[in-house]
A = this chain, B = another copy of it.
Amino acid sequence: MQFTAAQIAALINAKVEGNPDAAISDIARIEEGRKEALSFVANPKYEHYLYETKAGIIIINETLVLERPIDATLLRVPDAYAAFAALLEKYNEVMAMGNVKKGIEQPSFIDATAQLGNDVYVGAFAYLGRNVKIGNNVKIFPHAYVGDNVVIDDDSQINAGVKIYHQCKLGKRVIVHAGTVIGADGFGFAPQGDGKYKKVPQLGNVVIEDDVEIGANTTIDRATIGSTFIRKGVKLDNLIQVAHNVEIGEGTVIASQTGISGSVKIGKRCMIGGQVGFAGHISIADGTKIGAQSGMLKPVVKEDTEYWGSPAFDFKAHLKSQVIFRNLPDLTQRIKQLEEKLNAVLVKGS
């Protein structure tokens, strides 16, 4: 299937610069562009590829100033990345046609008490326990385990091998990637004094609200009592640990391998890097940004601040300390020279 620059421009509201009849039949990364491919440049780091790529049509920001002429037809938009993403989505829809999973594959295990909505996909070897409620248009891929009394609302997608323990609730349009475990027991043990521990029963559940996406092999523990909450629109990457009774606020985004200890409350609109750790029982204000590998030991009270380091403190202050850390040998040398000079003065003066 071919599309012309003019057709694509109409789809994404772009201004055409160059030949509106240029046609493409594929998409490619800018550095791998071919004549018949559409590409995009949003990140200034990749602008130099504009002058090297063979891509036939390129989406760019309307503010971008060219250093020299380019063969490709350009489509200028306010936000090249968003426009390209929108286009990918349309492309995805077209490609997915006739390829959509539907119906109940066999063998699968669906308890007699489970309720299924319309247009549901249940893959082979999927397991739906007692009183499970599955909304309309939900996709449950092979090897997914949906425990007793779990509710999954409309248009959600549970990928292969996801494990959801009993009593958990998932909202609409939730996507969970393969291997993720939702609702395993929180890590709670009461020391018994004899060096042994007694398991604290974990009686709560996990509540995942609408429009959440969760990556692969992530773990979200059930609450001891009450619920672990993943609020609307949260995006979690792969291999993240969310302990019991945590709450992650609306629209917060967390990168891979971050670990959140029990009863932590993270605000809305936070952006959290990879491999960050949170100590238990702290609250993080809305809009907090946290650099990768940080260790958050204390609450963050003020909104929209930036943290970094382990233990973490103000982002810019941490950057300053880091620079000096690299120069510690110099600093030590300067102190040694001061000591020598001062001793010389003192000896001379005595």
List A residues at the B interface (Cβ < 8 Å).
27-29, 32, 43, 45, 79, 81-82, 85-86, 88-89, 91-92, 95, 99, 105, 107, 109, 123-125, 127, 141-143, 145, 147-148, 159-161, 163, 165, 175, 177-179, 181, 184-185, 187-192, 195-201, 203, 211, 213, 215-219, 221, 224-226, 233, 235, 237-239, 241, 243, 245, 250-251, 253, 255-257, 259, 261, 268-269, 274-275, 277, 279, 281, 292-293, 295, 310-311, 313, 317, 320-322, 324-326, 328-329, 331-332, 334-335, 338-339, 341-342, 345-346, 348-349
Contact = CB atoms under 8 A, between A and B. Distances in A.
29 contacts: A27-B203, A28-B226, A29-B226, A45-B281, A82-B191, A85-B198, A89-B201, A109-B124, A160-B163, A163-B178, A177-B184, A181-B217, A184-B216, A185-B213, A187-B256, A195-B251, A195-B268, A195-B269, A196-B251, A217-B219, A238-B241, A261-B274, A275-B277, A279-B292, A292-B295, A317-B326, A321-B329, A335-B338, A345-B345
Contact of A142 (B88, B145, B321): B145
Given A82-B192, A184-B215, A345-B349, A225 B27 contact: yes
Contact of A123 (B105, B127, B233): B127
A37 to B, nearest CB: 9
B326 A325 contact: no
Contacts of A221: 215-216, 238
Contacts of A213: 185, 189, 199
Nearest to A27: B225
How many copies of this kind of chain does the complex include? 3
Contacts of A310: 293, 310
Contacts of A109: 105, 107, 124-125, 142
A161 B143 contact: yes
A321 B82 CA distance: 43
Given A187-B235, A256-B187, A311-B322, A331 B331 contact: yes
